[in-house]
Amino acid sequence: MVKKILLLPVTSDFIFKLIFGDQRNVDILAAFLRAVLDIPDEEYDRLVIVDPHIKKESVDDKYGILDVKIHTVSGGVIHVEIQNQVLPDMKARTIYSQSKLVTEQISSGMKWSSIKRAITIVITNDVFVPEGDKYHHQFRYRTDDGIEFTDLSEINTLDLSKLPPDDDSTELWYWMKFIKTDDEEVLDMLATRSPQIRKAVGVLKELSADEQTRMLYEKREIARRDFESRLEEKDAVIAEQAARIAELEARLGGSN
């Protein structure tokens, strides 16, 4: 009897980047991006993943967000990241990161026309945009009545928590289901949808069967939990200090 392998979660940014952030899997990445974005098809003719190699020796040094950054044929830039937890300041951080995608394209002496389209895709395993039931939102500079100022800056949000249980006949639903599920039978069903999803499922199974990859994933998870624990401890200390200050102020106010 063949021992069943526990599949690693694609919702882990580490595993996500190993699948979508590897130049050898650029066909997987292109198929996923096509399902999300409405950019011209020729933009996918030559996608270049920036820094596609994860420095595995430093994975357990500290916890940080791993993302995927891509250059398109015309010089446009696409940034993809996945987050399991939506923090209160995440929208502000997303805007800051998106702005950097634009400003880093131009330096002193360059023309404004040098700026190419910059797109951010944020995938969350938690509700990022609470308004409505849609799992995909596209944000651009537009007026209330739909007049577009520019398409140079765009943010797409993908909420896994809002994905409907039944397919909506879009390629995006199948990719979102691939990212979300840990059920091997469901993955095998998804693999029949397209050659790229079939390849992605195969890559995930290979990674899950690789002892070193699993060890690195587990180390990173420990680092993530330690990082979050330190944040919780820091927040608890700040809250305690704030309570003491409020109590002291109340006492001083009562003595006047």
User: Domain spans of the chain?
Assistant: 13-254
Per DSSP, the three-state class of 180 is helix
- Token pair in block for residue 232: 């919780």
**Collapsed DSSP state (helix, strand, coil) of residue 155:** strand
Q: What's the Cα-to-Cα distance from 26 to each of 46, 54, 135, 151, rounded to whole Å?
A: 9, 16, 24, 24
Q: Are 86 and 130 in contact (CB under 8 A)?
A: no
Helix (H), strand (E) counts: the chain:
7, 6
Question: Looking only at Cα atoms, what is the longest distance across the chain?
Answer: 80
H helices of 104-183, where? 171-180
DSSP codes of every residue in 221-242? HHHHHHHHHHHHHHHHHHHHHH
Given this model, what pLDDT does residue 170 score?
A: 95
**How high is the pLDDT of residue 108?**
78
Please give the DSSP secondary-structure letter assigned to residue 109.
T
How many other CB atoms are found less than 10 A from the CB of residue 135? 21
pLDDT at 3: 59
Q: Look at residue 248 in the predicted model and tell me its pLDDT.
A: 64
Which phi and psi angles does 224 have, rounded to 5°?
-65, -45
Residue 172 near residue 157 (C-beta atoms within 8 A): no
43 CB-contact burial (10 Å; exposed 0-12 / middle 13-18 / buried 19+): buried
The answer to whether the CB of 193 falls within 8 A of the CB of 201 is: no
- CB hemisphere CA count around 152 (13 angstroms): 13
Q: What angle do CA 212, 213, 215 make, to 5 degrees?
A: 65
Whole-structure pTM value: 0.83
Q: Scanning the structure block, which residue is given the tokens 């951010």? A: 120
- pLDDT at residue 59 in the model: 45
Those residues with Cβ within 8 angstroms of residue 16's Cβ, 6 or more apart along the chain or in another chain? 10, 66, 68, 82, 123, 179
Q: Would you state the pLDDT for residue 249?
A: 63
Strand 136-142 to 67-71 pairing: unpaired
Interatomic CA distance for residues 76 and 54, integer angstroms: 23
Could you list the pLDDT tens digit for every one of the 256 residues in the chain? 455 778 999 999 899 999 999 999 999 999 999 999 999 999 998 999 987 555 444 444 444 556 899 999 999 999 999 988 888 889 999 999 999 999 989 887 889 889 999 999 999 998 999 998 999 999 999 998 889 999 999 999 999 999 999 999 899 999 999 999 989 999 999 999 999 999 999 999 999 999 999 999 888 888 767 666 665 666 566 766 766 776 666 667 665 5
